[in-house]
């Protein structure tokens, strides 16, 4: 029986397990003690960013031990579980509205980027052969697939967004930061919750959790989540609404605590997405350097094609190819904590899987140009982490070892349709008028990756005085990646398309889909280290400074590489060098007015050499883009997290980030569309002006000094909540009114900045009005994007230099009601 079936069955069956009464017992002392803050949620919700509350201390595990968020010399944003529920921030995409240093972009689950301070993964480029720079951890388990960021959070107690390199304490090395998600743990005191939401666009969401003892030493926790919403775009080609939401998740946890010194937690989870997704809308066109007869207007006219709407906010798509975004993940984790000598030994053993069953319309139009585009993928990963942490008075430390193995297998295909010949072949070629030339042309892909990583790491905190603490850390890492890429191309007659053939039809066909096959291996050792000094300027004011030398593992090209004139892959382009990171940061964490005012300020500068990006390198004698290394990028800025709680009746927060991120040196970047599509410039030739039809295009572009994509120079989140005592239907509690807003300035939506893909800045406003009783009942109405702001999450320029621009509109105004009960 397949292990995936067993994990799904176990996760679902666990949700039907009985909860039997037993003697109350405290939860494991080795887990974050969030129970107090959870019990106070009704009267004292936390502030977003700082995590401040009226009473008690927000506990974080950013440094793999429990401590106050204000004592951690790291820039960290804290979002409590109650704010996730109240603001509808049920996945990472929505979380970015609360944490301005976080950037999230997704055209579908696989094509997803999660960045912090503008760095993490190459924007707009999906390649299994490289790793993400932002680590996602759920209860200490590393999630290697960024697709997990598109799922609903499930029974979450708290989320910490850590900024800056995190390698000397975390299992997998991450250069930009980490998202540390802590779920609610099994308890020996019975508790539970249920939440139901209804809204426009047929929005339905149900969440439920139940926890309690099975015996004096065993406790269990079960959680379910279901979200469903109609699509936000209408596909005129099929008559269906697309870009839906459809998520189901289940998690079961079993805690065995035979003594105060030993506990074991087994966790099983399974989640599945099955929306009709994912599509874009027509935004417009922009002139390229292609001849006019090969730009969008002329190509569309030849085939009698017109877009269904020129206004993208009519939300009408026109996609005739199949769409699918079935996304399934899950796994099992076994965590052991053992009080051994002066410290705690922790072991975390985990297996995770990810299945991706996509289908896309890669021509973005209602024409049968590309009739099939799908690359189903499956992944298994195994991780083992050991950590020993101890507090020896003036000194505490963490020592750890981490092992990781990932296996990815992708078998996909792309097929061209009857409209492809006129669209893709130069009209000067008589073959362009033959629909059968490209109709049925198919590339069948086999892509494989075996990824091994192992590390030893440690961090020491030495309290030199009552005020001064020095904290060095080190990590030694080994990585090896073995990859295979094979693409076999056949035409509509079943003939193989090869480079050996000189048949004019085969030559024209391989110019559209070219066969290629190669294997490659990357391996390397790396050393990371960091040093932090923190000083208590006053009892509630902590200053800190950090330097970190880090890296992101090298990789391999698994989307194909350039070929020489004979069609042989240029293996010099198969490997990608590691990124080398120098990170500097200084900050102050302070509380004033009897800790009712919290202000955290951080300034940073991150420099990355050999930044992994898409390049076009004329030294290879070809113009095909491929994954390689830009010389250097730099991100620097200032961040402020502020919360003010003048009374238990009112709280206010403001989080802001100024980020200046640019390509410090990138001399062989792909050119933007306005400088592409013309004849390649020969030595001594001057490229034509941007957008000059039939012009001369540079072989590559120097974009040094230009902004990195996806980063707003200014980003803010802000909000407030007021409550007033009330009695409704005999239930005592409080009426409350809340507001959460966000703003981000404009940003580039193309890896090489283009005048056609600059997204304008926008602001979003969310409101909630409700009543929460002292007995745990909460009923509220909500409105998100209340003023129906029209904005784009991203713009895209499809390949081919036709000038077509498509986009992903953000959600329109949504509204609804939520009822929740916690006991």
User: What rounded mean pLDDT belongs to the chain?
Assistant: 89
> C-alpha distances in angstroms, 617 versus 377, 523, 561, 577, 698?
30, 23, 12, 15, 11
Scanning 500-596, the segments in alpha helix (DSSP H) are 504-510
What does the pLDDT read at residue 54?
65
Alpha-carbon distance of 31 to 344, in angstroms, equals: 12
Place of tokens 């699918």: 324
Closest by alpha carbon to 700, among 663, 671, 678, 664?
671
- Which neighbouring-strand residues pair with 402? 385, 455
Alpha-carbon distance of 153 to 209, in angstroms, equals: 13
Alpha-carbon distance of 668 to 64, in angstroms, equals: 41
Contacts 24+ apart (CB under 8 A), 429-438: 429/508, 431/504, 431/505, 431/508, 436/492, 437/505, 437/508, 437/509, 438/492, 438/508, 438/509, 438/512
Closest by alpha carbon to 300, among 790, 804, 819?
804
Closest by alpha carbon to 94, among 143, 41, 159, 3?
159
Q: Which CATH number fits domain 3-822: 1.10.15.40, 2.40.170.20, 2.60.40.2310, 2.40.50.100?
A: 2.40.170.20
Q: Are 730 and 752 in contact (CB under 8 A)?
A: no
> 309-320: buried (b, 16+ CB within 10 Å) or exposed (e) per residue?
beebbebbbbbb
Q: Are 196 and 819 in contact (CB under 8 A)?
A: yes
Torsion, Cα 766 768 774 775, to 10 degrees, reads: -90
Closest by alpha carbon to 100, among 690, 763, 786?
763
Local structure of residue 67 (DSSP, 8 states): E
Contacts 24+ apart (CB under 8 A), 208-211: 209/155, 209/184, 210/19, 211/19, 211/184, 211/186, 211/187
- Which neighbouring-strand residues pair with 163? 177
How do strand 102-106 and strand 233-235 relate by DSSP bridges?
Answer: unpaired
pTM comes to 0.91
Residue length, the chain?
Answer: 823
Where are the extended beta strands (E) located within 360-467? 370-374, 377-391, 395-416, 442-463
Place of tokens 């042989």: 568
Residues 6 or more apart whose CB falls under 8 angstroms from that of 683 comprise none
Tokens of residue 761, six digits: 């800045």
What does the pLDDT read at residue 562?
85
Q: Are 383 and 141 in contact (CB under 8 A)?
A: yes
Tokens of residue 451, six digits: 């990824």
Tokens of residue 172, six digits: 């997998």
Cα of 462 vs its chain's centroid, Å = 35
Closest by alpha carbon to 803, among 188, 198, 283, 236?
283
- Residues 149-164 have pLDDT tens digits of 788 889 999 999 999 9
What does the pLDDT read at residue 232?
97
- Residues 578-635 have pLDDT tens digits of 999 999 999 999 999 999 999 999 999 999 999 998 776 544 444 456 788 899 999 9
Alpha-carbon distance of 603 to 164, in angstroms, equals: 11
Where are the extended beta strands (E) located within 464-595? 468-490, 516-538, 541-552, 555-556, 575-576, 579-592
> C-alpha distances in angstroms, 737 versus 506, 592, 740?
67, 26, 11
Closest by alpha carbon to 118, among 608, 712, 655, 715?
712
What does the pLDDT read at residue 82?
83
Q: Name the 3-class secondary structure at 438.
A: coil
User: Which residue ranges of the chain lie beneath pLDDT 50?
Assistant: 1, 3, 5-43, 618-623
Alpha-carbon distance of 583 to 683, in angstroms, equals: 40
Q: Are 710 and 744 in contact (CB under 8 A)?
A: no
What does the pLDDT read at residue 42?
37
What does the pLDDT read at residue 628?
83
How do strand 714-728 and strand 731-744 relate by DSSP bridges?
Answer: antiparallel
Domain ranges of the chain: 3-822
């Amino acid at each position: 029986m397949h292990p995936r079936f067993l994990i799904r069955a176990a996760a679902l069956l666990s949700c039907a397990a009985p909860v039997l009464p037993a003697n109350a017992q405290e939860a494991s002392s080795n887990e974050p003690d969030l129970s107090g803050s959870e019990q106070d949620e009704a009267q004292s919700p936390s502030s977003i960013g700082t995590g401040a509350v009226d009473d008690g201390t927000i506990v974080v595990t950013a440094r793999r031990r429990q401590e106050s968020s204000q004592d951690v010399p790291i820039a960290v944003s804290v979002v409590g579980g109650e704010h996730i529920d109240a603001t509808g921030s049920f996945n990472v995409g929505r979380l970015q509205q609360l944490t301005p240093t976080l950037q999230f972009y997704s055209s579908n689950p696989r094509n997803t980027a999660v960045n912090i301070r503008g760095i993490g993964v190459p924007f707009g480029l999906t390649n299994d052969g490289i790793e993400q720079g932002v680590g996602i951890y759920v209860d200490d388990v590393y999630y290697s697939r960024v697709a997990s960021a598109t799922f609903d959070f499930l029974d979450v107690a708290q989320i910490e967004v850590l900024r800056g390199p995190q390698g000397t304490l975390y299992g997998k090395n991450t250069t930009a930061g980490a998202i540390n998600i802590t779920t609610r743990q099994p308890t020996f005191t019975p508790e539970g919750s249920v939440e139901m939401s209804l809204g426009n666009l047929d929005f339905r969401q149900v969440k439920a959790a139940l926890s309690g003892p099975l015996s004096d030493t065993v406790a269990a926790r079960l959680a379910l989540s279901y979200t469903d919403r109609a699509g936000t775009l209408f596909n005129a080609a099929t008559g269906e609404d697309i870009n839906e939401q459809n998520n189901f998740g289940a998690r079961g946890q079993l805690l065995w605590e035979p003594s105060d010194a030993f506990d074991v937690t087994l966790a099983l989870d399974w989640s599945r997405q099955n929306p009709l997704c994912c599509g874009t809308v027509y935004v417009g066109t922009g002139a390229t350097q292609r001849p006019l007869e090969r730009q969008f207007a002329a190509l569309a006219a030849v085939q009698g094609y017109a877009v269904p709407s020129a206004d993208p906010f009519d939300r009408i798509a026109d996609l005739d190819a199949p769409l699918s975004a079935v996304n399934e993940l899950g796994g099992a984790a076994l965590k052991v904590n053992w009080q051994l000598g002066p410290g705690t030994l922790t072991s975390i053993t985990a297996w995770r899987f990810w299945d991706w069953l996509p289908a896309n319309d890669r021509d973005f139009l209602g024409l049968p140009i590309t009739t099939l585009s799908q690359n189903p993928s499956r992944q298994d990963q195994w991780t083992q982490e050991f950590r020993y942490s101890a507090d020896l008075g003036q000194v505490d430390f963490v020592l750890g070892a981490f092992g990781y193995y990932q296996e990815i297998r992708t078998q996909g295909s792309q097929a061209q349709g009857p409209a492809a010949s006129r669209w893709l072949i130069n009209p000067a070629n008589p073959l362009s008028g033959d629909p059968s030339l490209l109709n049925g042309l198919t590339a069948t892909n086999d892509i494989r990756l075996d990824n091994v990583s192992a590390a030893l790491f440690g961090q020491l905190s030495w309290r030199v005085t009552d005020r001064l603490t020095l904290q060095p850390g080190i990590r030694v890492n080994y990585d090896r990646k073995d990859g295979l890429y094979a693409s076999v191309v056949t035409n509509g007659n079943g003939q193989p398309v090869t480079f050996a053939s000189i048949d004019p039809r085969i030559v024209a066909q391989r110019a559209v889909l070219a066969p290629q096959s190669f294997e490659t291996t990357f391996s390397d050792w790396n050393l990371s280290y960091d040093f932090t000094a923190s000083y208590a300027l006053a009892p509630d004011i902590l200053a800190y400074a950090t330097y970190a030398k880090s890296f992101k593992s090298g990789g391999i090209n698994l989307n194909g590489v350039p070929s020489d004139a004979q069609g042989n892959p240029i293996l010099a382009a198969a490997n990608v060098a590691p990124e080398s990171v120098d990170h500097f940061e200084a900050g102050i964490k302070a509380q004033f007015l009897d800790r009712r005012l919290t202000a955290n300020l951080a300034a940073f500068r991150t420099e990355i050499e050999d930044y992994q990006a898409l390049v076009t390198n004329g030294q290879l004698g070809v113009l095909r883009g491929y994954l390689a290394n830009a010389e250097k990028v730099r991100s620097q800025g200032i961040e402020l997290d502020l919360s003010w709680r003048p009374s238990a009746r009112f709280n206010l927060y403001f989080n802001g980030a100024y980020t200046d991120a640019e390509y410090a040196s990138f001399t062989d970047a792909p050119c933007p569309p306005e400088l592409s599509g013309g004849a390649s410039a020969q030595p001594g030739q001057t490229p034509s002006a941007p957008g000059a039809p039939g012009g001369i295009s540079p072989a590559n572009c120097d974009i040094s000094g230009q902004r990195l994509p996806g980063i707003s120079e200014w980003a803010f989140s802000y909000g407030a909540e007021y409550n007033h005592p009330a009695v409704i239907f005999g239930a005592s509690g409080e009426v409350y009114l809340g507001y959460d807003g966000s703003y981000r300035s404009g940003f580039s939506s193309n890896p090489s900045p283009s005048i056609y893909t600059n997204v304008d800045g926008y602001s979003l406003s969310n409101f909630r009005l409700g009543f929460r009783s002292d007995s745990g009942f909460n009923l509220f109405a909500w409105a998100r994007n209340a003023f129906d702001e029209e904005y784009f999450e991203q713009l895209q320029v499809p390949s081919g230099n036709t000038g077509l621009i498509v986009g992903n509109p953000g959600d329109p105004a949504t509204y609804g009601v939520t009822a929740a009960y916690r006991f």
